[in-house]
Amino acid sequence: MRSAEFGIRNEAQESEVKAHPSSAFNSAFRIPHSAIVIGGGLAGLAAAVGLAGRGFKVTVLESRARLGGRAGSFTDPTTGQMVDACQHVSMGCCTNLTHFLRTVGVDHLLSPQPKLYFMTPDRRTSVFKADPWPAPFHLGRALTGAHYLTPLDKLRVAYGLAAMLWERPDADPPLLPWLKAHRQNSRTIERFWAIVLTSALNETVDRVGLKYARKVFRDGFVRHRDGFTVHVPTVPLGRLYGDELRAWLTSHNVELRENTGARRLASSPEGTIASVELRDGSTLTADWYVLAVPFDRVADLLPDELAREPYFAGAANLTPSPITSVHLWFDRPTMKLPHAVLIDCLGQWVFDRGEVAPGEFYLQVVVSAARDLKGLGRDEIQRRVVEELGRLFPPIAQAKLLRAKVITEHAATFSAVPGVDRWRPVQASPVQNLAVAGDWTATGWPATMESAVRSGYLAAEAILARAGQPAKLVQPDLV
């Protein structure tokens, strides 16, 4: 709520608010707050939406020329087309991402995929879809119909899922020994558990803990009929986080400052954040601050005395996991499916994005947890992927490859190793007027767009509570 609606603040009142940012009211009227959000990715944008919806004057600082962070696009210099650095999808269980997209008016730019197509190197395909039965029985026939598992394998998987769901939610031993101790063999591990978890967690089953593996299966496949439904953007991510989002933010008193990198936060003698120094040497001040940057940038932006605090220092223990995406443009249609989940293949997913320009048909292949590709040149990665796709989809062997691009995001996500939550801080920092956001903070979710949005909402909740305006922003799970 803006001050102009009630009158003009005098100098004494201005000084009082600056000195005590948690004081939200004076004796006569409510004083509006200002907030600076450092980072224009999903976490920062969600924090801005949460605060702006409660009357805050928000400034978002983004070092790049676009919004969305890692969920972003680049402009292909050859054609001028907007291309996603990596394919991002949502799922039905991602209630906060759905709420965020609906709030800013872009949820119509995603298309649900009620069927998933699983393909083996022999070109056989199984369709994974829900039956009209209540959860958790809605996917029973999909599992029993999987051609790439034997009947005994399916019994092993069913037993493993039941055992996993009976585990304590906070139990987090190494997953691979747990799977082996619960009657999983190499085939079920490679053709079921790894197929789902490597894509969902961007990590291999030998490196992850049980906790987030359980989270994926419980929320995505067991708890609710719609949890597993994949939602694919119908436009590039740069368009998804483009004009409509900007218009909503602008109409809600949010200033977007792109190409504006932050150099360092400065602390006050009282131990609060006093200002943010920009890379051009200028400074900005606000009542409240949200640090919404990747975990490997946190220490660089904090004053030295804060960077050493245990709350902030834990981020240094998080390790990154890479994703490689291979972008291919052919001269003709090459797939009859909208996507395929690939089994026993180098790629894990291939998405058919259709005809993006006259005579240009675009495919994107995603390789999650792509450490095994380290040391291979882009040309070799491209060659292997195109050769593999040619075996899976015969039209590719006859098509002309117009151009290709291989992109690796080396720090795409944090690695969900056993016990990783001990290094993930809550969003309300020990500094009175500073909150922290990012998919790497404590959200109860692995590193996903859902986790990023949850973190932004939680950061906004922390600030609102300290400002005397408590509100519940985080949306409930599907039930």
Residue 473 has a pLDDT of 98
How far the first Cα of the chain sits from its last, in Å, is 34
Q: 342-355 burial string, b = 16+ CB within 10 Å, else e?
A: bbebbbbbbbbbee
Q: What does the pLDDT look like over 67-78, one tens digit per residue? A: 999 888 888 888
Largest CA distance in the chain: 77
Q: 246-282 burial string, b = 16+ CB within 10 Å, else e?
A: eebbeebbbebeeebebeebebeeeebbbbbebeeee
Q: 394-403 burial string, b = 16+ CB within 10 Å, else e?
A: eebeebeebe
> Do 387 and 328 contact (CB within 8 A), yes or no?
no
Q: What does the pLDDT look like over 171-205, one tens digit per residue? A: 999 999 999 999 999 999 999 999 999 999 999 99
Nearest in space to 381 (alpha carbons), one of 426, 431, 325: 325
Q: What does the pLDDT look like over 312-331, one tens digit per residue? A: 999 999 999 999 999 999 99
> Do 73 and 242 contact (CB within 8 A), yes or no?
no
Whole-number Å distance between alpha carbons of 69 and 67: 6
Residue 31 has a pLDDT of 52
> Do 438 and 455 contact (CB within 8 A), yes or no?
yes
Q: Residue 26 is encoded by which pair of tokens?
A: 């004076």
Q: 19-28 burial string, b = 16+ CB within 10 Å, else e?
A: eebbebeeee
Residue 15 has a pLDDT of 38
Query: Within 10 Å of residue 124's Cβ, how many Cβ atoms?
Result: 11
Residue 302 has a pLDDT of 96
pTM score, two decimals?
A: 0.92
Per-residue 3-state assignment (H helix, E strand, C coil) for 200-241? HHCCCCCCCEHHHHHHHHHHHHHCCCCCCCEEEECCCHHHHC
Whole-number Å distance between alpha carbons of 183 and 158: 10
Residue 288: beta bridge partners?
35
Q: Hey, what domains does the chain have and what are their CATH numbers? A: 3-69+241-317+424-466 (3.50.50.60), 73-111+319-414 (3.90.660.10), 135-228 (no CATH)
Residue 75 has a pLDDT of 87
Residue 183 has a pLDDT of 97
Using the 8-state DSSP alphabet, how is residue 296 labeled? G
pLDDT in tens, the chain (479 residues): 333 332 233 333 333 334 344 443 333 334 569 999 999 999 999 999 999 999 999 999 999 999 999 888 888 888 888 999 899 999 999 999 999 999 999 999 999 999 999 999 999 999 999 999 999 999 999 999 999 999 999 999 999 999 999 999 999 999 999 999 999 999 999 999 999 999 999 999 999 999 999 999 999 999 999 999 999 999 999 999 999 999 999 999 999 999 999 999 999 999 999 999 999 999 999 999 999 999 999 999 999 999 999 999 999 999 999 999 999 999 999 999 999 999 999 999 999 999 999 999 999 999 999 999 998 999 999 999 999 999 999 999 899 999 999 999 999 999 999 999 999 999 999 999 999 999 999 999 999 999 999 999 999 999 999 999 999 999 999 87
